[in-house]
Amino acid sequence: MFLVEPLSAKRGRALTWSFIELAAGFTGTSTSEELFAEAIGAANYALITGEHVQEFDEGGRYIRTWMSETLMVEPPGDIPPAAPGQRLRVIASPWEDIGLRAEEVEALCLSAFYWQSVGGLKAVDSYLEAGAGRAGTVAALQVLLGELSPPVATRLGG
């Protein structure tokens, strides 16, 4: 069991826009894994995936590295600098097997992400009611698109 700490509304909105841009095929400074890690929490993400998550402050300075059930602070000089606006960097750790199927990890991460997004519980409910997976993602994405202002087409240049 773990606790998902709520993000500020401003950060939740920024995560939502980053997710929409990734879904639309735009490349940004964050990967979907990094967005999920921020939504569910770096320590939780490391715990359920077995991957390492480097955490940075708002100014891009390295803070710590989360690993499955462990916290490590590496010498800052050993850590590549964060990209502008990057809060987390996920580093795959294939040697750690935590026993969850990819679908289970995805369902946990997406549920946390939708809860932290502008869609909130409405997006989580839509995701779960549609059966998670691709159908759930489409249902939750429709909620997100309906909640965003200005209209998404304007922001994405359409």
Q: Tell me the pLDDT tens digit for each residue of 60-73.
A: 889 999 888 788 88
Provide the domain limits for residue 67: 9-155
Residues 67 and 61 sit within 8 Å (Cβ to Cβ): no
pLDDT for 95 beyond 70 = no
| 49 band by pLDDT with thresholds 50, 70 and 90 | confident
Q: How many structural domains does the chain have?
A: 1
CB atoms within 10 A of CB 54: 23
On whether residue 15 sits in a domain, the answer given is: yes
On whether residue 102 sits in a domain, the answer given is: yes
Residues 69 and 115 sit within 8 Å (Cβ to Cβ): no
Q: 149 vs 45, which has greater pLDDT?
A: 45
On whether residue 3 sits in a domain, the answer given is: no
> Does residue 95 sit in helix, strand or coil?
coil
On whether residue 4 sits in a domain, the answer given is: no
Report the mean per-residue pLDDT for the chain: 84
| 47 band by pLDDT with thresholds 50, 70 and 90 | confident
